Amino acid sequence: MNKSDEIKVLDHGFVKLTDHLGDDERIVQTARISYGKNNEECNHSASLINHLIKNHHTSPLEQVVFTFYIKAPIFVARQWLRHRTSRQNERSSRYSESMPEFYIPKDLEGRVSGVYQEEYDHRDVMGLQNESAYRTYLQLIDEGMSKELARTVLPVSTYTEFYWQMDLNNLFHFLNLRLSSHAQIEIREYASAVYELIKPLVPIACEAFEDHILHSVTISQFELTQLQEVLKGVDLPTQLKHLLPKGGE
């Protein structure tokens, strides 16, 4: 691995790909073994991988594994580690002193309402609070308090670091959730970095993921019935207009 396997994220964070096992061909080989095929017979890789992902035959994807080293604010890490199909190990602030690195958003446009309308006011308040918390943290340690107790005064904007390992099938699930426009902006930026790092290693699988999962739409039986009615010339109910292409009626 080299420097190109690390992407800077937010103000002090990064995502680094430290190791990986397998590629598109590993997925194909694993799928073909079901039929007793050997490596020389593994043709039409793109078609097979598309078929696997489209039809949710996911076990071959689990043969591809990635390990990342991540530095992120604690509140991002807590969202991240909700994905329990991963394996991770985090830097312990019980035994090591936390560094004075805190996340402060650069752009607060559209994310602030209330008394303080100026963006710099919010950033200043956040910065001062972080500095005050860290001074208290150091003071408690100097006065003999253990690190594991002193850390309780630190905000969730404090940066933490962890190793994170996940197979490709579950990684696609993570990316589908965390690349969504409904995900918090900060973890979305980390998910984008993760995806940028894996795409050159499994390009066929990533293309199929985008086609069949990331940019696809799932509809209910009721919605399908309504769309069938539209094809017959019946107007689509207002609450289902989102199923039409942009600008479509």
**Looking at residues 114-128, what average pLDDT do you find?**
73
**Looking at residues 152-159, what average pLDDT do you find?**
96
**Looking at residues 164-190, what average pLDDT do you find?**
96
Asked if 137 contacts 102 with a C-beta cutoff of 8 angstroms, the reply is: no
Give the N- to C-terminal CA distance of the chain in Å, as an integer: 50
The mean-pLDDT minimum among 96-110, 159-173, 215-229 falls in 215-229
More confident residue, 103 or 231: 103
Copy the structure tokens of residue 126: 């956040």
Query: What's the sign of the alpha-carbon dihedral 197, 198, 204, 205?
Result: negative
Delineate the domains of the chain, giving CATH numbers in brackets. 1-103+158-216 (3.30.1360.170), 104-156 (no CATH), 220-249 (no CATH)
Given the residues 26, 32, 151, 178, the one annotated as active site = 178
The mean-pLDDT minimum among 54-63, 178-187, 229-238, 239-248 falls in 239-248
Asked if 208 contacts 168 with a C-beta cutoff of 8 angstroms, the reply is: no
Instruction: Judge whether 151 counts as a catalytic residue.
Output: no
Position 249 scores a pLDDT of: 44
pLDDT reading at 237 higher than 80: no
Copy the structure tokens of residue 28: 């194909």
Geometric angle at alpha carbon 87, from 81 and 91, rounded to 5°: 70
Position 121 scores a pLDDT of: 78
Asked if 249 contacts 242 with a C-beta cutoff of 8 angstroms, the reply is: no
Geometric angle at alpha carbon 123, from 120 and 126, rounded to 5°: 150
**Looking at residues 41-60, what average pLDDT do you find?**
85
CA distances from 199 to 26, 167, 204, 220 (A): 15, 14, 8, 31
Asked if 67 contacts 162 with a C-beta cutoff of 8 angstroms, the reply is: no
Position 118 scores a pLDDT of: 56
Q: Which phi and psi (to 5°) does residue 158 adopt?
A: -65, 140
Residue 124 CA to residue 150 CA, distance in Å, equals 24
Copy the structure tokens of residue 240: 């289902």
Q: Which residue, chain included where needed, has tokens 């560094």?
A: 99
Q: Which helix (H) or strand (E) holds 69?
A: strand 65-73
Position 204 scores a pLDDT of: 95
Q: Which phi and psi (to 5°) does residue 212 adopt?
A: -95, -15
Position 242 scores a pLDDT of: 63
- Residue 247: which pLDDT band, with cuts at 50, 70 and 90? very low
